[in-house]
Amino acid sequence: MIRINATFDEDFLKRVDQEAQREKTSRSGFIRKAIEEYLRMKQREDQIRRAMSIQDSIRKKSGLRNAFQQIRANRNRRC
């Protein structure tokens, strides 16, 4: 692993230390875990944005305003 230096406010660092102690991990381990979780969350948000963009594109191509209308249209075609 590579060592880095970071600067934190004293109160913030106290909170980090308290949480790290509560989770029975080191300060570095706690910060690493927090950053990993943040990066996973950002990746998931990007995936959701892409999926929503695809849905919007499909909706525009179909000419329907929402999924309920699409389902209703599909059901009506079967009858």
Q: 34-65 as b/e, with b when 16 or more CB fall inside 10 Å?
A: eeeeeeeeeeeeeeeeeeeeeeeeeeeeeeee
Interacting residues of 31 by C-beta distance below 8 A, sequence separation 6+: 6, 16
Domain spans in the chain, listed from the N-terminal domain onward:
13-78
> What's the whole-model pTM score?
0.67
Along the 79 residues of the chain, how does pLDDT read in single tens digits?
Answer: 899 999 999 999 999 999 999 999 999 999 999 999 999 999 999 999 999 998 888 877 777 667 777 778 888 887 7
CA–CA gap between residue 50 and residue 41 (Å, rounded):
14
pLDDT of residue 61: 78
pLDDT of residue 65: 65
Token pair for residue 4? 């880095």
